[in-house]
Amino acid sequence: MKRTHIRFLSHQPWSIPLIVLSTLCLILILTITLLLGLQKSVSESDSLFSHSESSDSNSDTVNALPSLPRFAYLISGTKGDGGRVKRLLQAVYHPRNYYVLHLDVEAEDSERLELAKYVKSETVMRELRNVMVIGKANLVTYKGPTMIACTLHAIAVLLKQAKQWDWFINLSASDYPLMPQDDILHIFSYLPRDLNFLEHTSSVGWKEFQSARPIIIDPGLYHPKKSGVFWAKEKRSMPSSFKLFMGSPWVMLTRSFLEFCVWGWDNLPRTLLMYYTNFLSSPEGYFHTTVCNNKDYQNTTVNHDLRYMRWDNPPKQHPLNLTVEHFDDMVQSGALFARKFAKDDPVLNKIDEELLRRPISRYAPGGWCGGNSVLGTDPCMVNGSPDVIKPSVSSKRLEKLILTLLSSENFRSKHCK
């Protein structure tokens, strides 16, 4: 398969001073293309993931298998997260995929530069040019709309620079994968490319009074210095022209849906973007409300964020920090990723050793690693074929989770309602 090379963006001026202005600017710099057609939804089948445990170079075998997907990742962090972002990148790297790395304006320029230098120094990344570092950082306010602005910025970069990918995944520096990329590529090669994975509900409950009715102002939209959001005295009524949906801010969304959000040939994404400018924790609602209020996408949702998290009872704003005592539950969940982890927690080493087979400061190995590990050399320093995958036992756990989510009891009954 022909590789798509993209330009490294270590010092490009991608800043978003205003969330609405940002969307309009993105529309101007991107060209309109045809809306990708929705593919037929999948039903549960015992033979859904029935190909062998690895692809090989035999042409007959390869031609008999479904094409492998490509994922586009946003990995974001703040001050002091440069090392964590680097480690996470190594853990989720695969030559087929694309990656945007963003350290917000709180991070020192030296930290951002160090991350960019690392990407340029890696032979595989330098040759494939599939990792981009945002050089001009965005200001991100906790709970403010600048959070969704930063995500839309990364999506716009990926839509423009990376010509072929199927799903977008957002990760933070406190996330970590629970399986190698080969397992994810293997299982998702059998899925329709129109499925959007996001946890969502229209029963917003107490969040109506915490997030929907209050009017908040994010100073980050108007000032370069970071500060917290503040509340207006007035309240607003619930909208009548669209129905609110809320859920997890961690998503796995299709390229087709995100083209709809960024390019906006329908007015809905722009309308909702303006509405969520004054909404507390807008990443918990913007994509959810957009997908569920459009007839072309509302039946493409899988009601799960594919993350493993543990919460207080009642749940607080953030999930609990995961430790070694949660390891077995994490593994059995079949989830792609888990969050959140404290910096350098010992459980990360356990995940590296037992699930990813990742040596310290190296890539998580996969079928694409064409070198030899004799004498302790890193096999991934030699780039083999990106179309060769070697799934591990983790793919069976992911298969079980996906079959459950797409079962007749769960899939259609948990669409946008």
pLDDT of residue 44: 32
pLDDT of residue 24: 39
Answer yes or no: is pLDDT of 29 > 50.
no
pLDDT of residue 40: 33
Helix (H, G, I), strand (E, B) or coil at 168: strand
Q: Which two tokens stand for residue 390?
A: 């070697």
Range in 10-14, 197-201, 265-269, 273-277 the model is least confident about: 10-14
User: Average model confidence (pLDDT) for the chain?
Assistant: 85
CA distance 334 to 369: 25
Answer yes or no: is pLDDT of 215 > 80.
yes
155 DSSP 8-state letter: H
pLDDT tens digits along 150-184: 999 999 999 999 989 999 999 999 999 999 999 99
- Tell me the pLDDT band of 20, cut-offs 50, 70 and 90: very low
Helix (H, G, I), strand (E, B) or coil at 392: coil
What CA–CA distances, in Å, run from 351 to 318, 331, 368? 22, 9, 21
pLDDT of residue 11: 37
In the chain, domain spans: 19-26+66-414
Could you tell me the pTM of the whole model? 0.84
Answer yes or no: is pLDDT of 66 > 90.
no
55 DSSP 8-state letter: -
pLDDT of residue 232: 86
Answer yes or no: is pLDDT of 226 > 90.
no
Range in 49-53, 345-349, 391-395 the model is least confident about: 49-53
Number of other CB atoms surrounding residue 342 within 10 Å: 12
pLDDT tens digits along 304-340: 999 999 988 777 778 899 999 999 999 999 999 999 9
At 125, the amino acid letter reads: M
CA distance 54 to 392: 9
- Tell me the pLDDT band of 95, cut-offs 50, 70 and 90: very high
The whole-number average pLDDT for the span 56-62 is: 44
CA distance 265 to 282: 22
Burial-class residue 372 by CB neighbours within 10 Å (0-12, 13-18, 19+): exposed
171 vs 46 pLDDT, higher one: 171
The whole-number average pLDDT for the span 42-70 is: 53
Answer yes or no: is pLDDT of 27 > 70.
no
pLDDT tens digits along 252-302: 999 999 999 998 788 999 999 999 999 999 999 999 999 999 999 999 999
Answer yes or no: is pLDDT of 25 > 60.
no
Burial per residue of 226-235, b for 16 or more beta-carbon CB atoms within 10 angstroms, e otherwise: beebeeeeee
Contact of 22 with 146, CB cutoff 8 Å:
no
pLDDT of residue 305: 97
Answer yes or no: is pLDDT of 9 > 50.
no
Q: Which two tokens stand for residue 94?
A: 């695969």
The whole-number average pLDDT for the span 375-394 is: 88
Q: Which two tokens stand for residue 58?
A: 């035999």
What CA–CA distances, in Å, run from 265 to 24, 31, 154, 260, 276? 12, 11, 20, 7, 19
249 vs 210 pLDDT, higher one: 249
283 vs 63 pLDDT, higher one: 283
